[in-house]
Amino acid sequence: MQKLQVKILMLCSLCYGILAMPRPPKKNEGGITPEDRKAAEVYLKNFYTLANKSRNTFEERLREMQRFFGMRVTGRLDNGTMTMMKTPRCGMPDMAAVRAVPGRPRWRQTSLTYRFVNFTPDLPQNMVTDSIKRAFDVWSQVTPLTFTQVGNGQADILIQFSSSGHNDGSAFDGRNGVLAHAYFPGSGIGGDAHFDEDETWTINRGGTNQA
C-alpha cells in the first residue's frame, strides 16, 4: 500500500513473470512501447483538453502536462513522462486544462451545504467527516465560501464512495489509478465528489490517505 495525499498522488508497479515469459513488446528509442503510446493518448485526452483547439495535438498536450508537473518540456513521450502518467491521481483535469471549460463555472451562492451519500468501510465515519470538514475549512480560508454538513435532504454537494461504473459517466479504474473526481459547480451532479471505493482509504498511515 502507498501513502499519498489526495492532492497529488504517486505509485507505479511493474510485474515480471517467472516462467515462460512472453516476448517483450517492441520499444522505440526512448523505451516507449506502442501500448505506452496508446495509454498516453487516453491520459492526455482525459486530463489535457486545451482551450485552443488548434493546439490539441498529442505533442502540445504533452508539453502542457510536462509544464504542469515541472518536468523538462520536450513534447516527446519518454520514460519519465510515462511514469508520471501512471501515478495514481485525481480524476479532474489539471488546472491548466480547466481553462477549456466554457463559462468558467462558479457557485451562485457563497453558503453551501454538503451531505454524505455513504461512507467507506475502511474508516470510522467520524474520521471521514472530520477529514472532509478540514478540507472544506481550507477552502473557506481562501474564498468567500462556507460549507455546512447536513444529515439528509437536498445539498449542494453530495459526497460518495463508489467502485467502477457508478452512473455518472466517469467509471473508476480500480486500485492505484484515478482516486477520486469532483464536478464543477452547477445543478444536478455539479459540485459532487466521488471517491474510488476500490482504494484502501486511511488517515495518516499506509493506504490511500484521505487527509
What is the maximum span of the chain, computed from C-alpha positions, in angstroms?
62
Ranges of beta strands (E only) in the chain are: 89-90, 111-116, 146-149, 157-162, 178-182, 193-196, 201-202, 208-209
Is 78 marked as a binding-site residue? Answer: no
Q: Say whether 196 counts as a known binding-site residue.
A: yes
80 is in an annotated binding site: no
Confirm or deny that 137 is annotated as ligand binding. no
Cα torsion through 94, 190, 123, 147, rounded to 10: 100
Task: Judge whether 173 is annotated as a binding position.
Answer: yes
Q: Does the annotation place 190 within a ligand binding site?
A: yes
d(C-alpha 177, C-alpha 165), whole Å: 14
Nine-digit cell string for 108: 451562485
Residue 142: all three cell numbers together: 481562501
- Main-chain dihedrals φ then ψ at residue 34, nearest 5 degrees: -60, -35
Tell whether 194 is in a known binding site. Answer: yes
The reply, when asked if residue 15 is annotated as ligand binding, is no
166 annotated ligand binder: yes
| DSSP element (H, E) containing 141 | helix 125-142
| Binding site as annotated, residues for Ca(2+) | 122, 156, 173-174, 190, 192, 196, 199
| Binding site as annotated, residues | 90, 122, 156, 166, 168, 173-174, 181, 190, 192, 194, 196, 199
| Binding site as annotated, residues for Zn(2+) | 90, 166, 168, 181, 194
